[in-house]
Amino acid sequence: MKLISNAIETHSKSLKRVTFNHISQEINLVVDDLAKARVTDNGVKIVDPSGGMLAQEWEPFADQLVNAQSPETLLSIIRECVEKEKIPFDGAQSAEILLGRDTRPSGESLLEAAKQGISSIFGAIALDLGILTTPQLHWMVRAGNKGMKATEPAYFEQISSSFRCLIDLIPNGTKANKLDNRVVVDGADGVGGEKLAVLKNMLTDLVIEVRNSGEDGGLLNDGVGADYVQKEKVVPRGFGSNDVGIRCASLDGDADRLVYFSVPSNSSSKIDLVDGDKILSLFALFIKEQLNILIKEGNQKSNNNFQAHLGVVQTAYANGASTDYLKQLGLEVIFTPTGVKHLHEKAAQFDIGIYFEANGHGTILFSESFLSWLEARNNELALVSEGSEQQKAALRLLSVSKLINQAIGDALSCLLLVEAILQQMDWSIHKWNELYQDLPSRQLKVKVVDRTAIVTTNAETVAVSPPGIQEAVDAETAKYPRGRCFIRPSGTEDVVRVYAEASTQEAADSLANYVVKLVDQFLGFGSSV
């Protein structure tokens, strides 16, 4: 289930958070229901009124609330937070809480618990929006607090109409191959497959075939989905030899991640993976081309001196070949610690910020100042050179800003944007996949006594503690052509994760295995996992 606060009136920012976190204790009452279900729990997701993720400074408070052992402890935690944050309780306050759930069996009972919690808060109103993807609910919170229509039909209408606009703006000289106008999508037996079945009927320029939609009784994320495809690099359930050469994609269970793949031959279950790094590269290439068209000389006006700051944000887990490719395009590439919240925050500092993780979670953020300039520039071009390539570029960028979900990574909107760009460029998935060749890599982990003994800096790529470990990693890495290696502690368990790259798979494996032994010598039990 996804839990979202959408307070449109005068409800204070701090009180909004108390309101939806207060519900967490109620949710604990029904967690036992998850044991009866065959699917894995995905937790309760809380969304900031901006449409983004819960602000990091409120995470410790949320953790305390959900782990409160008694009603008395719960009230004590709330009182402490109210005093610390100076939250006013004078006068009536109102708030709307948007609630949605996914297709897991636990959804109904969790939703009912949330409603009970909300009803205990004076002035709070629960709006049950039914079954939704996580990104849909993020989008609706953002839309509602911006004064837009915050409904599922409005979401579908915006992304489908923006997709049609991009298709209509394909240059006349580009002859898209209609035979390649088909994509087969693995819905991971989750909510995304169900919603994609609705969306595909609103499109005339794209043929979408949905498999593993959940209707055939398949188990959520079991041998299907973006995470499975990206990590295992094999076809998901329901795909095989009949799909050789066809453009395929996988959503994850709640549809906030997307990866593409193709089946190279009918003699193997292996795939050619097109992951989040290559989705990012495709988006960056397209956005950069439109900006170049828009700012080219001609039709100069006083309003045409805006130089958009375009930036790309990655984590250290991004394949080094993708980073090299993006830098060769002349793009600014910034690294952050692992985690979408870090990527999103950094991307928001650009006029146009693009971020993606290799697992397929990412989006494009447009600043309000850039969009205001872009609207003005489009209106200006419509008067002096309507239908020009410059105006079309402006319209494409405006359409992208409406198609892409700027609140969070959204597999449905990213899928449509990928398909629109491929049609614009008249590219097959194979040509897209040839943008660059991934460097061989290996990820391993090793059990340690205390993961907090590893302290990192420089976006988690340099270990500053324990003393000497980084120097040892660097010395080994230097032995391998195109070698790169870093270690970082897990955020949830006492293990240290090791990532290595090199010019060959054998070299990447060797480097990773050596560093695992190194970490074990410094911090471990004497055995890797």
pLDDT of residue 215: 83
pLDDT of residue 39: 62
The pLDDT tens digits for 398-422 are 999 999 999 999 999 999 999 999 9
Given a contact cutoff of 8 angstroms between Cβ atoms, the answer to whether 40 and 220 are in contact is yes
pLDDT of residue 177: 56
Query: What does DSSP say about strands 310-314 and 332-335: parallel, antiparallel, or unpaired?
Result: parallel
Q: What is the mean pLDDT of residues 321-328?
A: 97
Q: What is the mean pLDDT of residues 452-463?
A: 95
For the cut 90, the answer to whether the pLDDT of residue 159 exceeds it is: yes
Going through 69-151 in order, the beta strands assigned E by DSSP cover 95-101, 124-131
Residue 46's pLDDT band, with cuts at 50, 70 and 90, is confident
pLDDT of residue 524: 75
Residue 303's pLDDT band, with cuts at 50, 70 and 90, is low
Residues that constitute the known binding site for substrate:
357-359, 488-492, 497
For the cut 70, the answer to whether the pLDDT of residue 118 exceeds it is: yes
Give the closest residue to 44 by CA, choosing from 27, 25, 69, 61: 27
Any idea what DSSP says for residue 121?
S
Residues that constitute the known binding site for Mg(2+):
252, 254, 256
Q: How far is the CA of 132 from the CAs of 135, 414, 527, in angstroms?
A: 8, 17, 43
* Better pLDDT: 268 or 170: 170
Cis geometry, peptide bond prior to residue 466 (ω within 30 degrees of 0):
yes
pLDDT of residue 467: 95
Average pLDDT, whole number, for the chain? 87
- CATH of segment(s) 441-523: 3.30.310.50
What span, in angstroms and rounded, lies between the C-alpha atoms of 275 and 336?
Answer: 19
* Better pLDDT: 122 or 337: 337
For the cut 70, the answer to whether the pLDDT of residue 1 exceeds it is: no
Exposure letters 235-267 (e unless 16+ CB within 10 A, then b): bbbbbeeebeebbbbbbbbbbbbbbbbbbeeee
Cβ count within 10 A of residue 129: 17
Q: Domain boundaries in the chain?
A: 28-131, 441-523
Cβ count within 10 A of residue 419: 23
Residues that constitute the known binding site:
252, 254, 256, 357-359, 488-492, 497
- Pick one of 3.40.120.10, 3.20.20.70, 3.40.50.720, 3.40.50.300 as the CATH number of 28-131: 3.40.120.10
The pLDDT tens digits for 50-101 are 999 888 888 888 889 889 999 899 999 988 988 888 888 776 678 899 999 9
The pLDDT tens digits for 213-244 are 988 778 888 999 999 999 999 999 999 989 99
pLDDT of residue 178: 57
* CA 49-50-55 angle, 5° bins: 80
The pLDDT tens digits for 365-408 are 999 999 999 999 999 999 998 889 999 999 999 999 999 999 99
Q: Of 82-91, 208-217, 292-301, where does mean pLDDT reach its minimum?
A: 292-301
Residue 28's pLDDT band, with cuts at 50, 70 and 90, is very low
* Better pLDDT: 25 or 344: 344
Coil, helix or strand for 95?
strand
Over pLDDT 70: what percentage of the chain? 88
Query: What does DSSP say about strands 2-5 and 95-101: parallel, antiparallel, or unpaired?
Result: antiparallel
For the cut 60, the answer to whether the pLDDT of residue 266 exceeds it is: yes
For the cut 50, the answer to whether the pLDDT of residue 205 exceeds it is: yes
Over pLDDT 90: what percentage of the chain? 69
Helix axis angle for 13-22 and 71-85, nearest 10°, is: 170
pLDDT of residue 40: 66
